[in-house]
Structure 1
């Protein structure tokens, strides 16, 4: 209940005492420091959040030869892996990730899937059946040392432990040689982050290849070996290194890949090479392979092969795509420390959408992300259209949206949702080059460190694309339904245990950071601190503690309360205005104060009995001699005794004390209740009687001693007419209906409809049925039916 209570301040000191803590109630300190939860700083990771002077990380270099069999959709490869131990530890074995083993029969990923509900889509049932039947995974045919001597190894699900012939000491390098092959799957049926797509009308395949080679697992100071099994959600934790990759495909295929093409003369025509050179300084995308050339490739069926050779330096992974169907456009982008080629590969099915937006979105992403992090350091940035809806790797991303084809007219159109879906997913996936491809967080453990931070910057970049860009995530109001749901788990939850992956790892962290930037820290402090984090940890592996500490270290703001509430709990924001009190200083002058009391009394409603008794006979009507002095003066009339006392006391006051008593300001005390448990700043829009307005921003620290209820004093010269809490929906407050004084009606609507005759007859028949004492009344039965 919200009400305005007017009173007089008898003693000013009482007003500022704040809400008391209930007797016996435990004090929930929302502002206690995070020291109990964060790891102890050391020489590897400092208390400031920066890498320590003894920070280290491993290095893994790869030389890979891979062949794609387009007839059987199978990959065959061999690799040489040079593992350099930069840690202070001696290693007796090395763990290798075999992510494709998730697709083996009997894999934990398949066995751990829960049963479907009663309603399943056709596609969903097909996925269930074919996932169970598909027998994929790596066939490892060789694991050997530099002398081709076999090495003992043990495959455990999606991990393989290779036992070294002798311990690998700090600073030393070991060479491992691995041969393998595996069956690719149809991505649109079995899902996942890679696979093939089949185009029936022209009998062609489009391949997007990721997680395709055995990769060294990460070994670092906080986790040791990150060898958690790959169950589908927790992605990849990898080491930086250099890649030398040769990809053999049918001669009429076009390949896009991480890194720089080393042999353009062997795989591109002279005209295509000239176009690629022209694109470096072009003002708009240049077609390296035109739609007409792509259509010609679609019809080709070469029995020869070509080998595309790529090199990439200082990357943590490698991905590629291959198809006859690819159109290829490119445009150079050079700004600040960035000098790169933005390129898009897409089939004719992607136009007219892809030719218009893909490469433009790549460049826009780099422009915006560079402002808030660091200059994009790699020589290429690629967007590929294929079966994967959205996935990221160094220098290359897979993105899904396409126009819709009208089979009757042959016309291709796209909806508003498809257009912004494409722009948004490209911004998001290209943005992942910054987080986690360069700021190399542990995705297997903390999904939010790459998805949440990247979704936040995606929102910032989208808003810079055009006015009123319809961002899917980032607005505080978009998180309300999730934050008041029972499906929440803390953001600081392992990737495989999250209940609502998108809301928890993408949406909520993005909203939290946007609130931190806009409503708590301010853009200047936030942007400086966020950029400092990115600069400190580029090409290194940060943990959550490093992010939290850096944001505080670089801004000078204690944010432990914010991290604790938003990241470690499932509390939500629900702050309510409970009461509003209007006080005025007691002048102690009886003439003034008694007149004030009389005015307050006269504002009270007339008691019902007094209303009904008005005009009735009274004894004093017949005997006026019973009336005396007190009938001539009401109870508020000041007496001479009171005046004399006031004059005597007032004469002894100093002038500043007399000024306080004469103060005619209005002292408003507003009671707030924290119903959701998550402490946040209190943002108020105040409207005065003259219709002027004022915004008051009260920091979250007001809750530090009384986190459940707090009162705020506002001293104003004007009368307050209305107060709105969180007026711009900045804080993700889940119930805005308790945010107004005076209270507002809750607006909604009801729909009118015609009742079907059979429904009316059913209700009529139910009314005629006798009550069965054993089974309850007709009404109870109807209620039960409704509930079911």
Structure 2
């Protein structure tokens, strides 16, 4: 269906495709292979007819000679999880772990049959992309049914997916099924899988998995038959078939990726948040310390969902499952796979980060391949706030609670390796530049936006964005428009310069002479400024200098550092003018630029000056 842009606040003519997966999976846990059957209902709402469609076959990346294999050889700083050093510590020579996989160790998804509305269809596989020639075009406004059978082999654990992880998890099943490619205003998103992340249409999943009765599964969605499988109920009566396999049945509504992991050593624990979210942990209790960490982390996870729901919009699904597996941490629809042999703080930290992805990226369907900072950066922002509010609990929240991402961004900005964070995620020259741009600079983008429009306006923006864009696929421009509507401030300059360039912010207190103060912009990136002045009589005054391009002003903010301090709004500053002078009320003793530390100034040593 085509949604009304005026009624729902989206772009005029907004639309998205519909998908509904029904899958039946039969697992041979000894060979790490499985047979899959899938029926997919696909709704075309694009306003145009489609003669082709595409699917992702992610497991095909784990084969010698794949693009992922080649990327590990060509990038300057390959992921250590995916490589091994065959040189020395002094002179490392990195070898792709994919390059040494044997035919029994590789991953693959081989399509056996494919029908469209009951008619066999022509298809071809090119790397990790399956291209389907439709027997008949899919007309706008119509639905089409795909029937597919495939055989797959789970690769050795190298990146996210795989078998026999370093922590001993048998099966980490992510990117494991033929997944319909995303189609939107920008066309088909057909990124080869080289190690980064994903985008997909929202839809419903009905997944049945047959696996040996001793295995326990943690996965996306709601388990439909907990009394018939191992791990979820004390008095479960496990039902098995002739092959001694149990059947697991999951359903999930309005998600865009489905993941699961399985191991006979898994145990299951659960709790319910105050907001009613049922939270599961599925992990291997390797020792008492690890088991205790997981039990404590479950309580922190429940608090996280209540905190994030209050600040960023209510979590809309009934469950969330935290499963030990994979190679670090990776988010999926209503579930995450994380490595679990961690200390408590590390475990809570990774859970908070991956759970925060339930908003940025899963609830909003953000395109991680294009707007990686919007996904990872905003998630890191939520994570850092939650760690301060829930885990640290060390008194007052600092004026800038995400200083660690700021420090990471400063290192990047001064490294000579920074690239614009509008760059497609796969195309960064280094993993260092990608991770610091996506995670750290992206988080700075959010906190510094609050510096520009005001802390309260930022919080209102997040909630209004949730109201307008949940279960859709917004772009950064959609977020910008919400922030502008909430604050009344023009933000084109900020989003353009901070996202599309590597320009840096650098201000200094140039001169203090009696009551006269001169501020200098040493960079090519203009910003509004908060300037706190302490007078020789001990009183203080906050001067606010808007930027001309804002066409508006930030309201006063409620920070302890400003309590009882007079606030004076000065005439706006032109970005074309390198200096700005103003006259204070009394003889000046001290001056601070940005006392809340939210301005991402790469050289802050000259932002504070004492009159001698």
Q: Tell me which interval the TM-score lies in, with the shorter structure as reference length.
A: 0.7 to 0.9
The 8 Å contact of residues 361 and 423 in structure 1, kept in 2 or not, is answered as yes
| SS of residue matched to 1:508 | helix
The 8 Å contact of residues 226 and 232 in structure 2, kept in 1 or not, is answered as no
Q: Distance in 2 between matches of 1:162 and 1:394?
A: 26
TM-score by length of 2: 0.85
309-318 vs 260-269, which moves further:
260-269
Give the equivalent residue in structure 2 for 1:318.
Answer: 258
Q: Distance in 1 between matches of 2:195 and 2:165?
A: 24
The 8 Å contact of residues 401 and 421 in structure 1, kept in 2 or not, is answered as no
Q: Distance in 2 between matches of 1:463 and 1:390?
A: 20
Q: Distance in 2 between matches of 1:473 and 1:721?
A: 28
Of 488, 509, 512, which residue of structure 1 is paired with 2:418? 488
Q: Distance in 2 between matches of 1:680 and 1:444?
A: 29
1:339-354 paired onto structure 2 within 5 Å: 339-349=276-286, 351-354=290-293
Give the equivalent residue in structure 2 for 1:259.
Answer: 221
The 8 Å contact of residues 324 and 340 in structure 2, kept in 1 or not, is answered as yes
Structure 1 residue 148 displacement after superposition: 5.4
1:87-166 paired onto structure 2 within 5 Å: 87-115=46-74, 124-125=84-85, 128-134=95-101, 136-145=106-115, 149-166=119-136
Structure 1 residue 56 displacement after superposition: 1.5
Of 578, 581, 585, which residue of structure 1 is paired with 2:510? 578
Structure 1 residue 66 displacement after superposition: 1.3
Q: Distance in 1 between matches of 2:109 and 2:452?
A: 53
Of 472, 475, 480, which residue of structure 2 is paired with 1:548? 480
Provide closer, same or farther for how the CA distance between residues 483 and 119 of structure 1 changes in structure 2, counting only shifts above 3 A: closer
Of 458, 461, 468, which residue of structure 1 is paired with 2:386? 461
Question: Larger helix proportion, structure 1 or 2?
Answer: 1
1:588-637: CA deviations, max 9, x gaps? xxxxxxxxxxxxxxxxxxxxxxxxxxxxxxxxxxxxxxxxxxxxxxxxxx
Structure 2 unpaired stretches of 5+ = 87-93, 549-570
Of 682, 703, 711, which residue of structure 1 is paired with 2:529? 682
Provide closer, same or farther for how the CA distance between residues 273 and 487 of structure 1 changes in structure 2, counting only shifts above 3 A: farther
The 8 Å contact of residues 473 and 507 in structure 1, kept in 2 or not, is answered as no
Q: CA RMSD in A?
A: 3.1
Q: How many residues align?
A: 565
Provide closer, same or farther for how the CA distance between residues 119 and 709 of structure 1 changes in structure 2, counting only shifts above 3 A: closer
The 8 Å contact of residues 49 and 553 in structure 1, kept in 2 or not, is answered as no
Give the equivalent residue in structure 2 for 1:741.
Answer: 609
In the alignment, structure 1 residue 61 sits paired with structure 2 residue 20: yes
Provide closer, same or farther for how the CA distance between residues 740 and 449 of structure 1 changes in structure 2, counting only shifts above 3 A: closer
In the alignment, structure 1 residue 366 sits paired with structure 2 residue 305: yes
Structure 1 residue 115 displacement after superposition: 4.6
| SS of residue matched to 2:363 | coil
Provide closer, same or farther for how the CA distance between residues 358 and 570 of structure 1 changes in structure 2, counting only shifts above 3 A: same
The 8 Å contact of residues 144 and 176 in structure 1, kept in 2 or not, is answered as yes
1:199-239: CA deviations, max 9, x gaps? 89xxx643221000001001112x11111222212x21111
| SS of residue matched to 1:231 | coil
Provide closer, same or farther for how the CA distance between residues 385 and 169 of structure 1 changes in structure 2, counting only shifts above 3 A: same
| SS of residue matched to 1:112 | helix
1:27-38 paired onto structure 2 within 5 Å: none
1:672-751 paired onto structure 2 within 5 Å: 672-701=519-548, 704-716=573-585, 718-742=586-610
Q: Distance in 2 between matches of 1:198 and 1:120?
A: 16
| SS of residue matched to 2:84 | helix
| SS of residue matched to 2:358 | coil
Give the equivalent residue in structure 2 for 1:309.
Answer: 249
TM-score by length of 1: 0.67
1:631-646 paired onto structure 2 within 5 Å: none
